[in-house]
């Protein structure tokens, strides 16, 4: 696990290092199949609350975004994460979804 050695890191920076490193990669591997069980949940939510654009902060492999992108145009679906490996896989699996690297504390939107 890659833990920062600097003592002056903020808690946010410490967590970004954690999720962007080995811990985040291991989490991605452990949860790879979790997406399959989310279909009924997302169908219920999107029937009840129709949307035209979505943003998930901490999207990982895009397990939620995959279901959302079936209901709205994928170009209107955004996923932000700090883990480059997860974003790379998300981009290859769902190329039309906007997979963006960014810390949650500095979102690149106005």
Average pLDDT for 56-71: 96
pTM: 0.85
pLDDT value, residue 36: 85
Residue 11 to residue 109: CA distance in whole angstroms: 23
**pLDDT, tens only, 8-60:** 789 999 999 999 999 999 999 998 888 889 999 999 999 999 999 999 999 99
* pLDDT greater than 70 at residue 1: no
């Amino acid at each position: 696990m890659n833990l920062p050695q600097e003592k002056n890191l903020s808690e946010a920076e410490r967590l970004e290092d954690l999720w962007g490193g080995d811990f985040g990669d291991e989490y991605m591997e452990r949860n790879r199949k979790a997406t399959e069980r989310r279909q009924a949940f997302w169908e219920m939510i999107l029937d009840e609350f129709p949307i035209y654009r979505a943003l998930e902060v901490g999207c990982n492999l895009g397990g939620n975004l995959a279901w959302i992108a079936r209901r709205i145009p994928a170009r209107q679906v955004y996923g932000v994460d700090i883990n480059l490996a997860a974003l790379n896989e998300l981009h290859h699996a769902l190329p039309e979804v906007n997979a963006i690297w960014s810390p949650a504390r500095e979102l690149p939107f106005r």
